[in-house]
Structure 1
Amino acid sequence: MQRDQHLGWNELLTRDLDTVSAFYSTVFGWDYDDMEMPYGSYRVIRGGDEGGLGGLMTMPPEVPEQVSSYWNVYFMVDDLEAMLGRVTDLGGQVVHGPDDMAGVGRIATVADPQGGTFLLLEPASQG
């Protein structure tokens, strides 16, 4: 059976949301919709078919100061547990999770055999 797996979301974590938002707006012409989060605004990049192209957010306070801004890449999967098994069978590792995110789904951070990290997201049932 073919599983539904695809690039689903990109997200920039930064310590200067206003500066970086202006930069990407100028470079790519992006406009944003703000959503309030516990530690600041989450800026959804307008466009796409599923509520946006990605997001920009303030780095959570628990992230050490020496960590610079970075992009997260999310891959949507229809069976998170099966994909976590595949990742580890192929020499990758589960870095964090899986965690349940209310209204979003189940999410885990994984690393490929060379240490490149990405996130897997099994969306919440639309039922």
Structure 2
Amino acid sequence: MWTHGHFYWNELMTRDPDTVRAFYEATVGWRFAEHNLTDGSLYWVAFAGDTPVAGVFAMSGPDFEGVPDNWMPYLAVDDVEARLEAAVAAGATVIRPAFTVPAVGRFAILRQPGGGAIGWMTPA
């Protein structure tokens, strides 16, 4: 079960998923399961034991030009659209409007006042 306002997921965005997966396997013992996303790209879920703990997303294409490797945290929220509207009214800018990942949830990416990027999601 998830709780509104709590951190729910972390995702490493990288241009070199093989190297970062090897790093986390060697240093913290994570194992990875590969998934094909609906757009044809690959995604890896990291596991600590049997518990999924993070994802690895391969950045490619012009949308990520100049973006360094980074961790993207996701907060669980009760209603992505309503919370995104409130965030914009409070000074946030939308990086990626609300979208659905089937069987995972509804997401949006925003830049909070001060510049930090964060994902908000309503888990499925």
TM-score bin, normalised by smaller chain: 0.7 to 0.9
Q: Secondary structure at the match of 1:53?
A: strand
Match of 1:39 in 2: 41
Give the TM-score normalised by the residue count of structure 2: 0.81
Alpha-carbon separation, structure 2, partners of 1:72 and 1:94: 15
Gaps of 5+ in 1: none
SS class of match (1:4)? coil
Structure 2 unaligned blocks of 5 or more: none
SS at match of 1:46: strand
- Deviation, 1:21, is 0.8
Please state whether the residue corresponding to 2:63 is helix, strand or coil: coil
The aligned counterpart of 1:117 is 117
Alignment partner of 2:23: what SS?
Answer: helix
On the 8 A contact 1:11/1:73 being kept in 2, the answer is: yes
- Number of residue pairs matched by the alignment: 120
Please state how far the C-alpha of 1:65 moved relative to its aligned partner: 4.2
SS at match of 1:108: strand
**Partners in 2 of 1:95 and 1:66 — Cα distance?**
15
Equivalent in the alignment of 1:70: 70
8 Å contact from structure 2 (residues 74, 118) kept in 1: yes
CA-atom RMSD in angstroms: 2.2
Q: Identity percentage over the alignment?
A: 36
Moved more, 73-82 or 87-96: 87-96
Q: Specify the SS of the correspondent of 1:20.
A: helix
Task: Determine helix, strand or coil for the equivalent of 1:63.
Answer: helix
CA distance 1:62–1:103, change in 2 (3 Å): farther
Question: Once superposed, which parts of structure 1, at least 4 consecutive aligned residues long, lie more than 4 Å away?
Answer: none
What is the TM-score of this pair, normalised by structure 1?
Answer: 0.79
